[in-house]
Amino acid sequence: MANFNTHLNGAFAVSGILGLTIYKAGLIDDSGFLICVALGTIGGLLPDLDSDNSTPIKLGFNIASFVFAFGLVMHWRSELSLLSLLLLWLVGYGFMRYVVFRLFTSMTVHRGIIHSVPYMAILGLGLVCLNYYALHNPVNISWFYGLFLFGGAMVHLLLDEMYSVNLSGMTLKRSAGTAMKFYRHQDCWWYLLLYALLALLVFTAPPFAPLWEQLRDPTPWAQLKVGILPTMIENLMYKPK
Ligand SMILES: [Zn+2]
């Protein structure tokens, strides 16, 4: 299993690169970019929330709640008054830190359920629904948020899987193949519940087609291609004087 710092850095790096890519392509705005990276990083820490060694996770969650609260006030800065923004900041922070975090840490009874692909898919889809139906965010933004959370969690499971391979001797540790988990027979009833919930969420989730259309549209990517290299290097490469 990879340690906390590896998970934090891995998830932050991946969601940072992906977030910056879609931000530069103009698919998300400033606050969307911050929230996506924050959610990706949070996702990278979520699967280990039930582990005993939770002090660094607490710290990570403090920082994540902080960033989440900032994302919230940036999103609604033009609609709300200063006082409402301050309140939103506090409530957003408190909600992440004391409600969401407590909720997950209280699930320590059935260890290992959280550390699985279907559980993380439920969280991702749940976030999509929350953003779309409750917070009334645009459908594409809601999907981006859910996908970043899920993506961060997948980076986590992938890292655990990679770390279960002993690189020096290229032998498999006993934990190999257990990180990227879809099902475990000992917890079959739990998994049945998870998949039933997942099916329900797939059914209720907002349509994915608008995001798919946006991602397939070549215009933002063409714009991104132009802006990949710094202008100085581009000038050297294409317009030699
Ligand atoms: Zn893990």
Count CB atoms within 10 A of the CB of residue 105: 16
pLDDT of amino acid 110: 47
Residues 166-212: pLDDT tens digits? Answer: 554 455 555 556 677 888 887 788 888 889 999 999 999 999 999 99
pLDDT (average), residues 128-148: 92
- Tell me the C-alpha distance between 194 and 154, whole Å: 17
Residues 50-74: pLDDT tens digits? Answer: 665 556 667 777 877 887 888 888 8
Residue among 215, 226, 26, 194 nearest 113 (CA):
194
Structure tokens at 131: 């953003």
Residues 114-125: pLDDT tens digits? Answer: 888 999 999 999
Q: What are phi and psi of 149, to 5 degrees?
A: -60, -50
User: Ligand 1 mean position to 119 CA, how many Å?
Assistant: 13
Would residue 173 count as lying in a domain? yes
- Tell me the C-alpha distance between 17 and 26, whole Å: 14
Amino acid sitting at position 125: L
Structure tokens at 41: 């990083």
User: Ligand 1 mean position to 94 CA, how many Å?
Assistant: 25
Residue scoring higher pLDDT (108 or 93): 93
Would residue 235 count as lying in a domain? no
User: Ligand 1 mean position to 114 CA, how many Å?
Assistant: 9
User: At 111, is the pLDDT very low, low, confident or very high (cuts 50, 70, 90)?
Assistant: low
pLDDT of amino acid 168: 46
pLDDT of amino acid 109: 46
Domains in the chain, number: 1
pLDDT of amino acid 99: 85
pLDDT of amino acid 240: 54
User: Ligand 1 mean position to 50 CA, how many Å?
Assistant: 9
Domain span at residue 163 reads 4-230
User: Ligand 1 mean position to 92 CA, how many Å?
Assistant: 26
User: Ligand 1 mean position to 229 CA, how many Å?
Assistant: 36
User: Ligand 1 mean position to 60 CA, how many Å?
Assistant: 15
Would residue 120 count as lying in a domain? yes
Encode burial over 170-186: b for 16+ CB neighbours within 10 A, e otherwise. eeeeeeeebbbbeeeee
Would residue 130 count as lying in a domain? yes
Q: For a pLDDT cut of 70, what percent of the chain falls above it? A: 84
Output the pTM of the full model. Answer: 0.76
pLDDT of amino acid 114: 81
User: Ligand 1 mean position to 197 CA, how many Å?
Assistant: 22
User: Ligand 1 mean position to 42 CA, how many Å?
Assistant: 13
User: Ligand 1 mean position to 116 CA, how many Å?
Assistant: 9
